[in-house]
Amino acid sequence: MRICGWVIRRKTIGKIVILEISGDTSSKPHVIALKKEREPELFELARDLPVGTALCFEGELAPVQKSRRGVEYIAKEIKIYSRPLEPLPVDTIGKVPALLDTRIRYRYLLLRNPAEKAIFKIRESILRAAREYFIKNGFMEIQTPKIVAAGAEGGATLFPVKYFEYNAYLSQSPQLYKQMLMSSVPRVYEITPYFRAEKFDTPRHLNESWGIDAEIGFIESEEDVMNVLENLIAYIVDYIRKNNVEELEILGVELKPLTVPFKRITFKEAVDILSSEGVEIPEGEDLTEAAEKKLGEIMASKGYDIFFITRFPWEATGFYYMRNEDGTTRKFDLDYKGLELSSGGQREHRYEKLVEALRDKGLNPEGFKFYLEAFKYGMPPHGGFGLGVERLLVKLLGLSNVREAILFVRDRNRLIP
């Protein structure tokens, strides 16, 4: 068996050199012990091999597994491919913890550390599980443009792009396009970046983040959408529990299965719960981050880590959510331990009402003509959601910052690496 990777630790105990190698066949390191008496040449070679060396070895699984840290092999041959030019700027076994800033700067190198790699193996599982769930449930995967002429999530967070002689933007969300497709394909999903020019520097915001977006046609109400979302998340959790046993162990995370349906409370109930704890939300305003956190704590104390907040007030939503008679909308949020993971809802599919909604939000329907057109030819009632990948990963693994959950960070202060 040929195994390749990088030396992350070298230890000499008398006449034995132990190498720990981070490779790609398992999250745990590969461990080879080289004995002076058994393999004198390899022992000599390994004795002064610096941490960071890229190598491959021919070997087989050791019949007796003594190492608690990794999988042990007996090596027959070692081939060195590249030695580091200088000592590594970070500790790739994670004994010396790095500051978040350093972790972000040297993420490409720190992925040799089993714990850092485990986070991203689980991120990969989230996306794999989502695809699997959507395929099983008859959704079609779509890709929509990331250079757009109009945004759906408010003008303040659009990144302008010069597009030949036109003014364009980076896409904040596939919102408009996934809705347009409801006029022909009633179940779609997209795994997509969101570009948002949010200026704040918080543990929950990135300027380039990733979302799992879905849109479903012929629905009766937003309940149908919530149903897909809660089942998707429960499916993702089950998938990780099944497929990432090693990674969860490395991270020391005990991931519990989620039971559907998730708890639902209305926005008004949320406001009342907060008010009874002395947190007042002015009428027509959205929950602040602090209020959301507080609500998360109160709900967790009642046994609900994850819950929906439904029927948001019209003033606190995008133009595309359907309005109820009472001034509320069919928009919901999904919160997990005080953090919003997802927003969604039933949309306005009636042409006239949609034009009215754009005007009510102070937007010019002319700028949305291409989108509005799709509502003229038999648009069914529909709804969908956007689920934040980094935020989901943060909550599942108990991380503290979305910057820990994306390989290369784009935020207010980072455009490299």
Give how far the C-alpha of residue 103 lies from the chain's centroid of Cα atoms, to the nearest Å.
18
The answer to whether 73 and 30 have CB atoms below 8 angstroms apart is yes
Which C-beta is closer to ligand AMO: that of 71 or that of 358? 358
CB of 157 to ligand AMO, least distance (A): 8
Residue in 105, 107, 196, 311 annotated catalytic: 196
Which C-beta is closer to ligand AMO: that of 206 or that of 250? 206
The continuous run of DSSP H or E covering 128 comes out as helix 114-136
Among this protein's residues, is 204 annotated catalytic? yes
CB of 105 to ligand AMO, least distance (A): 20
CB of 69 to ligand AMO, least distance (A): 34
CB of 249 to ligand AMO, least distance (A): 27
CB of 115 to ligand AMO, least distance (A): 23
Among this protein's residues, is 391 annotated catalytic? yes
- The 8-class DSSP code of residue 47 comes to H
Which C-beta is closer to ligand AMO: that of 107 or that of 382? 382
Residue in 105, 112, 123, 204 annotated catalytic: 204
Token pair 């010069």 is found at 162
Among this protein's residues, is 196 annotated catalytic? yes
Positive/negative CA dihedral, 139, 144, 150, 151: positive
CB of 207 to ligand AMO, least distance (A): 7
CA atoms within 13 A on the CB side of 235: 17
Residue in 340, 410, 412, 414 annotated catalytic: 340
- The 8-class DSSP code of residue 224 comes to H
Residue in 72, 123, 343, 348 annotated catalytic: 343
Chain residues binding ligand AMO by CB under 6 A are 152-153, 173, 175, 194, 196, 198, 205-206, 209, 211, 213, 340-345, 384-386, 388, 390-391, 402
Which C-beta is closer to ligand AMO: that of 92 or that of 346? 346
Positive/negative CA dihedral, 187, 349, 323, 199: positive
Burial 194-228 (b: 16+ CB within 10 A, else e): bbbbeeeeeebbbbbbbbbbbbbbebeebbebbeb
Which C-beta is closer to ligand AMO: that of 27 or that of 209? 209
Among this protein's residues, is 340 annotated catalytic? yes
In the bound state, the residue with its beta carbon closest to ligand AMO is 388
Among this protein's residues, is 277 annotated catalytic? no
Strand order in the sheet with 263-266: 140-141, 187-195, 208-217, 382-388, 339-346, 331-336, 306-310, 263-266
Distance in angstroms (rounded) separating the CA atoms of residues 18 and 60: 16
Residue in 30, 105, 123, 205 annotated catalytic: 205
The continuous run of DSSP H or E covering 210 comes out as strand 208-217
Which C-beta is closer to ligand AMO: that of 58 or that of 153? 153
Alpha helical stretches, state H, 202-350: 222-243, 245-251, 267-276, 289-301
Q: Which residues are catalytic?
A: 196, 198, 204-205, 340, 343, 391
